[in-house]
Copies of this chain bind each other. A is one copy, B any other.
């Protein structure tokens, strides 16, 4: 089954200890679409300015991403400038120019409104609710958010959370949202706000899945060089939701495998700047790394 994603499309200028990229493809919707397209048909809803280098996302169309929901309007595309220090866990934002993204109002076609799986990337929770209201009979709605909305639009964010099934959040933001320092307690508090399924991303420390039944942990892939962490969270969500949509169900076993596919996509994404690694990635490489992730935690059955 297909998946609808609503989010940002940006031109990123990023500096890390390993180099820099200027005006490179970025934004939550692009990273998500690139990752999810390996698993499911993806429809993207977003907006760019007339300056957007449309040819650079032809690789998404070749992977079957439906770009009919990509609006092109007069003005400049959303731009983000940021950098990372050696620990790579937190981005330092130098400049954000929302440009055409400031007036973004998601428009869904008839076909988009019939989507069974939906991902609301990190955008204003008011827009997230607007999309939820327009989708007819979704099987599962996932969402992401960030400190900006947790602090600035808390009430609206809480309303969004009451309407979604799966939430993706990083560990610092989970603690901030719940207001408790212990991550396990924070996860329990957030799940009470609505999302039955909670995915907490911990960067170089892996990720955790919280459901009614259990906690599931995936370590991070042991990478020696993280070139650019931008988009890791969106690639994770893309792998996860793409796999869930492909399976058409979200039982415990499917969710656990989705966690690994999410981790796989994030681990590839950070190996190069912008979307360079996702562009050249193959399904075979994904399956090989999936097996490597399984081996990272594999324990032989005990025999004397």
Contacts and interface: CB of A to CB of B under 8 A. Distances in A.
Contact of A217 (B256, B297, B300, B302): B297
A126 interface: no
A215 interface: yes
A299 to B, nearest CB: 5
Given A205-B202, A300-B256, A295 B222 contact: no
Nearest to A86: B181
Contacts of A295: 214
Contacts of A53: none
A279 interface: no
Interface stretch (A59-67, A162-170, A182-190, A233-241): A182-190
A153 interface: no
A224 interface: yes
Nearest to A85: B181
A207 to B, nearest CB: 10
Nearest to A214: B295
B217 A296 contact: yes
Contact of A216 (B87, B208, B225, B296): B296
